[in-house]
Amino acid sequence: MKYSVFSLLKNTLSGHKNWAPAWRDPQPKKDYDVIIIGGGGHGLATAYYLAKVHGITNVAVLEKSWLGSGNIGRNTTIIRSNYQLPGNNPFYEWSLKLWEGLEQDFNFNAMVSQRGVLNLCHTDPQRDAFARRGNAMHLDGVDAELLDAQAVRDMYPFLDFDNARFPIKGGILQRRGGTVRHDAVAWGYARGADLRGVDVIQNCEVTAIKTTGGKVVGVQTNKGFIGCKKLGLAAAGNSSEVAAMAGLKLPIESHVLQAFVSEGLKPYIDGVVTFGAGHFYVSQSDKGGLVFGGDIDGYNSYARRGNLPMVEHVIEAGVAMIPGLARVRVLRSWGGIMDMSMDGSPIIDKTSIDGLYLNAGWCYGGFKATPASGWCFAHTIAKNEPHKLNAAYRLDRFRRGYMIDEKGQGASPNLH
């Protein structure tokens, strides 16, 4: 059933009794052309584009828990394409372009909201680094503006300009950046894929990957064995675990990242602002909560919860950036498991095993990537070769020495 003002009114008259389910609750078939492990943003988007762009509809998405229970359901929803390395920026810009048409495309209001992403700088070297990044964006035809302190003040007069330990010297602004209603992205892709025949199967955990003669033949799950010709891994924080089922060892560590939301407030801050002298970034959801976060806790973890030191670290930075926050209250905090890669950039590639494809290493930046990741992964699976946008995201780049390291932190996942 198409969502529209009319369908909404029609159903209102019938007391909303006749809404069709957004997706079926199918039992797994005995085999599929393609199985995607992971009913998160990337897995669902991959299935959606496999069906929509490549006409491959005999597809199942296997999700071990409820739909969108992973990072797609717990991230701070920032979208942007302000990367500086050639391997990255065209990919993320394509993602932003897909976001811009997404809701009409999958007929679901995901509240894509381009209210701007502003990164603050507090030192000259930081500003120089922003200039380098902004110019890289311009080279790729992406919007970026370098702001001085006054321009930042005009946008957000309530930041700490007068009493700061690290005075704000300016910032880099991408107006097309913004936020998206994260859950709705999972729901929209799931519904769109389901409408095109994809089986989205919840509470279906993959426990083993079966290969014969170096080729994938299917997966063992708590709902039994399911055969497939091609298998795509999109398990984010659990990538290592799932890849290990196929005997693969990845350049990835799992870390917990916490996020927070404040009590609902009347409009407080319009766009996304990122502090440059500590770990803190914030935006305000359409429900009124200030959604914010900072850095990963730092220790390897599969627990979706963190500890107090990082909470303090983040909130200290928050009040340092916006003194008025002192009397705002934090409502809830949670965590998600990041697939932190060794250079801070993702992997979308074929693997040494025939028919097995890998999508991983998103760190804390994979939400914005969701559309392009699905798009490119679908292409890589359908064509058995990378799309040019994900050509740099090869698995062997580490062995060969072609890392894509935006931050220059090297092989220390917890520093990216």
Partner 1 sequence: MLINCPHCGTRPVEEFTFNGDASVQRPVSTDMDAWFDYVYLRDNPKGRFDEYVQHSSGCRAWLVVTRDTQTHEVFGVVTARDYAKTRVKA
Partner 2 sequence: MTGFRLTAGGLIDRDTALNFTFDGKAFAGHQGDTLASALIANDVHLMGRSFKYHRPRGVISAGSSEPNALVEMREGGRKVANTRATMIELYDGLIARSQNRWPSLEFDVGAVNSLASAVFVAGFYYKTFMWPKSFWEKIYEPLIRRAAGLGVASKEPDPDKYEKAYAHCDLLVVGSGPAGLMAALTAARSGARVILADESSALGGSLLNENEEIGGMSGLEWAMATLAELSAMPNVTLMPRTTIFGWYDDNIFGAVERVNDHVLEPSPYEPRQRYWRIMAKRAVMATGAEERPIVFGGNDVPAVMTATAMRTYANRYGAAAGKSIVVFTNNSSGQRTARDMQAHGINVEAVIDARLKDDVIVNVKGGKRASAVELNGHRVIPCDAVAMSGGWSPIVNLMCHRGAKPIWNETIAGFLPPDVGPAFVAAGSAAGHMLLSECLADGARAGTMKGKVPAVPKCRDEAFAITPLWWVKQSTGKAFVDYQNDATAKDLPLAAREGYRDIELAKRYTTAGMATDQGKLGNVNAIAILADATGRTMDQVGTTTFRPYYTPVSFGAMAGPFVGHHFQPVRKTPLHDWAEELGAVFVETGLWMRSSWFPQQGEDWLAAASREVLATRSRVGLCDVSTLGKIDVQGADAAEFLNRLYCNTFSTLDVGKARYGLMLREDGIVFDDGTTSRLAADHFLMTTTTANAARVMSHMEFCHQAHWPELDVQYVSVTEQWAQMAIAGPKARATLQKIVDGMTLDDTTFPYLAAKNITVLGGMTARLFRISFSGEHAYELSVPADYGNMVARALMQAGEEFGIAPYGIEALSIMRVEKGHVAGGELNGTTTAGDLGLGKMMSTKKDYVGRMMAQREGMLDKDRQCVVGIRPHDAQDKIRSGTHILNKDDAPSMAADQGYISSVAWSPMLNMWLGLALLANGRARHGEVVKLFDGLRNIHSHGVICDPVHYDKENKKLHA
Ligand X SMILES: Cc1cc2nc3c(=O)[nH]c(=O)nc-3n(C[C@H](O)[C@H](O)[C@H](O)COP(=O)(O)OP(=O)(O)OC[C@H]3O[C@@H](n4cnc5c(N)ncnc54)[C@H](O)[C@@H]3O)c2cc1C
Ligand Y SMILES: Cc1cc2nc3c(=O)[nH]c(=O)nc-3n(C[C@H](O)[C@H](O)[C@H](O)COP(=O)(O)O)c2cc1C
- Which member of 23, 37, 47, 77 binds ligand Y (CB under 6 A)? 77
To the nearest whole angstrom, how small is the minimum distance from the Cβ of residue 278 to ligand X? Answer: 17
Taking residue 126's Cβ as centre, other Cβ atoms within 10 Å add up to 19
Cβ-based nearer residue to ligand X, 19 or 302: 302
Interface with ligand X includes 295 (CB under 6 A)? no
Round to whole Å and give the CA distance between 42 and 214. 26
3-state DSSP call for residue 52? helix
Report the chain's C-alpha Rg in angstroms. Answer: 21
Residue with tokens 């766009």: 271
Nearer to partner 2, 198 or 228 (CB): 198
Q: Which H or E run includes 90?
A: helix 89-106
Choose among 180, 156, 200: nearest CA to 103.
180
Piece in contact with partner 2 (CB under 8 A), picked from 49-57, 212-220, 366-374, 401-409:
401-409
DSSP codes, 287-320: TSEEEEEEEEEEEE---S---HHHHHHHHHHHHH
| Torsion 94-100-103-105 (CA) sign | negative
Decide if residue 300 touches partner 2 (CB under 8 A). no
Number of residues that bind partner 2 (CB under 8 A): 119
Choose which of 206, 228, 269, 348 interacts with ligand X (CB under 6 A): 206
Q: Coil, helix or strand for 45? A: helix
In the window 131-160, what residues touch partner 2 (CB under 8 A)? 131-136, 138-140, 144-146, 158, 160
**Which of 231, 259, 277, 392 contacts ligand X by CB under 6 A?**
259
Residue 243 touches ligand X, criterion: CB under 6 A: no
Nearest to 61 by CA among 220, 209, 224, 194: 194
Which of positions 115-134 make contact with partner 2 (CB under 8 A)?
A: 115, 122-123, 125, 127-134
Question: Is there binding between residue 271 and ligand X (CB under 6 A)?
Answer: no
Instruction: Give the nearer residue to partner 2 in terms of CB position, either 114 or 370.
Output: 114
What the block records as the tokens of 249 is 């060892």
Residue 272 interacting with ligand Y (CB under 6 A): no
- How far is it, in rounded angstroms, from Cα 387 to Cα 362? 18
Does residue 269 touch ligand X according to CB under 6 A? no
Q: Which residue in 27, 303, 383, 385 binds partner 2 (CB under 8 A)?
A: 303
- How deeply is 187 buried, as exposed, middle or buried, from its count of CB atoms within 10 A (0-12, 13-18, 19+)? buried
Q: 162: how many CB neighbours lie within 10 A of its CB?
A: 7
Inter-residue contact 264 to 287 (CB < 8 Å): yes
Binding partner of residue 291 among partner 1, ligand Y, ligand X, none, CB cut-off 5 to 8 Å per kind: ligand Y
Could you say whether residue 196 binds ligand Y (CB under 6 A)? no
Q: Which does 65 bind (CB under 5 to 8 A by kind): ligand X, ligand Y, partner 1, none?
A: ligand X
Alpha carbon distance 363, 351 (integer Å): 20
CB of 227 to ligand X, least distance (A): 16
CA 9 remoteness from chain centre: 34
* Smallest separation (angstroms) from ligand X to the CB of 44: 8
- From residue 194 to residue 233, what is the string marking binding to partner 2 with x (rule CB under 8 A)? --------x-------------------------------
Taking CB under 8 A as the criterion, which residues in 377-396 touch partner 2? none
Q: What residue 237 binds from ligand Y, partner 2, ligand X, none (CB within 5 to 8 A, per partner kind)?
A: ligand X
If DSSP codes are grouped into helix, strand and coil, which group holds residue 146?
Answer: strand
74 binds ligand Y (CB under 6 A): yes
* Residue nearest ligand X (C-beta atom): 40
For the chain, how far is it from start to end, CA to CA, in angstroms?
43
Residues at the contact surface with ligand X, assessed by CB under 6 A: 37-43, 62-65, 69-72, 74-78, 205-206, 234-238, 242, 257, 259, 293, 336, 362, 364-368
Contact residues for ligand Y, defined by CB under 6 A: 73-75, 77, 182, 261, 285, 287, 289, 291, 304, 331-332, 334
